[in-house]
Structure 1
Amino acid sequence: MARLAFVGLTFFLLLSGCGSSSGEGDAPRRGQGNSSPPSVEAVQARDGTLPLEERMSGTVRARNQVAIYAELSQPVVAVEAQTGDYVEKDEPLVRLRRVTYEQQVRQAEAALRTAKAEAQGAQASLRELRSQLKRTERLADQDFESQQQLESLRAQVEQAEATYEQAQAQVEQAESTLQERETTLRRTVVRAPISGHVGQRNVQVGQRVGPDTRLYTIGDLDSVKVHVEVTDRMFGRVRPGQTARLHVPQQDTVIQAPVTRMSPFLSEESYSAEAEIVVPNASGLLNPGMFIEVDVAYGESERATIVPLSALYENPGSNARGVFVAPTLGTEIPVDVPESFDEDNPPPLTPPTPTTFREVEVLAEGQQTAGIRGVEPGDWVVTVGQNLLESGAGERVDARVRPVPWSRLMALQRLQDTDLLNRVLERQQRLADQRFGPDAAPDDTAQSSVSRPDAPADTTAPSMATTQRR
Structure 2
Amino acid sequence: MNTSNTLFKTSLLTISLFLLISCSSEQETSQNNRNPESSVIPSVEAVQARYGSLPLVERFSGNVRSENQVPLYPEITGTIEAVYVENGQYVEKGERLVQLETTQLRKQLQQAEAGLRINQAELRQAKAQLGEVESQYRRIKQLSDRELSSDLELEQIEAELETAEADVELAEARVEQAQALVEERQEQLDRTVVRAPISGTVGQRNAEIGMQASPNTQLFLIGDLDRLRVEIVLTETMLNRIQVGQRAEILVEDASGEQQTIQAELSRISPFLNQQTRSTEAEIDVSNNSGLLRPGMFVPVDIYFGESEQATLIPTSAIYTDPTSGQEGIYVASSLGSEIQPANDPGDSSNTGSSSTLTEPTPVQFKPINVVAEGRMEVGVRGLESGQWVVTVGQDLLSEGRGEARVRAMSWERIVRLQQLQREDLLRQIMQEKDQSNNINL
TM-score for both structures, normalised by structure 1: 0.77
Matches within 5 A, 1:72-221: 72-127=76-131, 130=134, 156-221=160-225
In the alignment, the residues of structure 1 paired with residue 114 and residue 413 of structure 2 have an alpha-carbon distance, to the nearest angstrom, of 82
Q: Which residue of 1 aligns with 2:298?
A: 291
Quote the RMSD (CA, aligned, Å). Answer: 3.7
Is the counterpart of residue 417 in structure 1 residue 423 in structure 2?
yes
Is the counterpart of residue 327 in structure 1 residue 334 in structure 2?
yes
Is the counterpart of residue 254 in structure 1 residue 261 in structure 2?
yes
Q: Tell me, what secondary structure is at the counterpart of 1:60?
A: strand
Q: Aligned pair count?
A: 427
In the alignment, the residues of structure 1 paired with residue 306 and residue 145 of structure 2 have an alpha-carbon distance, to the nearest angstrom, of 102
Q: CA deviation digits over 1:148-171, x for unaligned, max 9?
A: 767766655544433333322222
Q: Tell me, what secondary structure is at the counterpart of 1:225?
A: strand
In the alignment, the residues of structure 1 paired with residue 404 and residue 326 of structure 2 have an alpha-carbon distance, to the nearest angstrom, of 18
In the alignment, the residues of structure 1 paired with residue 157 and residue 273 of structure 2 have an alpha-carbon distance, to the nearest angstrom, of 81
In the alignment, the residues of structure 2 paired with residue 97 and residue 140 of structure 1 have an alpha-carbon distance, to the nearest angstrom, of 65
Unaligned 5+ residue runs, structure 1?
Answer: 437-470
**Distance verdict in 2 for CA 1:323–1:257, change over 3 Å:** same
Q: CA deviation digits over 1:23-54, x for unaligned, max 9?
A: 464488xxx95168544443322222112222
Q: Tell me, what secondary structure is at the counterpart of 1:221?
A: coil
Conserved in 2, the CA contact under 8 Å of 1:244 and 1:296? Answer: yes
Q: 2:231 aligns with which of 196, 210, 227?
A: 227
Q: Which residue of 1 aligns with 2:380?
A: 371
In the alignment, the residues of structure 2 paired with residue 268 and residue 26 of structure 1 have an alpha-carbon distance, to the nearest angstrom, of 67
Give the superposition deviation at 1:306: 0.9
Give the superposition deviation at 1:98: 1.7
Conserved in 1, the CA contact under 8 Å of 2:347 and 2:433? Answer: no
Q: CA deviation digits over 1:61-105, x for unaligned, max 9?
A: 333333333333333333333344333333333322221111111
Q: Tell me, what secondary structure is at the counterpart of 2:187?
A: helix
**Distance verdict in 2 for CA 1:390–1:26, change over 3 Å:** farther
Give the superposition deviation at 1:304: 1.0
Conserved in 1, the CA contact under 8 Å of 2:92 and 2:198? Answer: yes
Relative to its length, the structure with more helix (as a share) is: 2
Conserved in 1, the CA contact under 8 Å of 2:23 and 2:437? Answer: no
Unaligned 5+ residue runs, structure 2?
Answer: 1-6
In the alignment, the residues of structure 2 paired with residue 435 and residue 365 of structure 1 have an alpha-carbon distance, to the nearest angstrom, of 39
Matches within 5 A, 1:333-348: 334-336=339-341, 343-346=348-351, 347=354
Partner amino acid for 1:378?
A: G
Q: Which residue of 1 aligns with 2:12?
A: 6
In the alignment, the residues of structure 2 paired with residue 221 and residue 365 of structure 1 have an alpha-carbon distance, to the nearest angstrom, of 36
**Distance verdict in 2 for CA 1:340–1:4, change over 3 Å:** closer
In the alignment, the residues of structure 2 paired with residue 302 and residue 424 of structure 1 have an alpha-carbon distance, to the nearest angstrom, of 34
In the alignment, the residues of structure 2 paired with residue 26 and residue 117 of structure 1 have an alpha-carbon distance, to the nearest angstrom, of 113
Identity of aligned residues (%): 43
Q: Which residue of 2 aligns with 1:406?
A: 412
In the alignment, the residues of structure 2 paired with residue 55 and residue 207 of structure 1 have an alpha-carbon distance, to the nearest angstrom, of 45
TM-score for both structures, normalised by structure 2: 0.81
Greater displacement, 4-13 / 351-360? 351-360
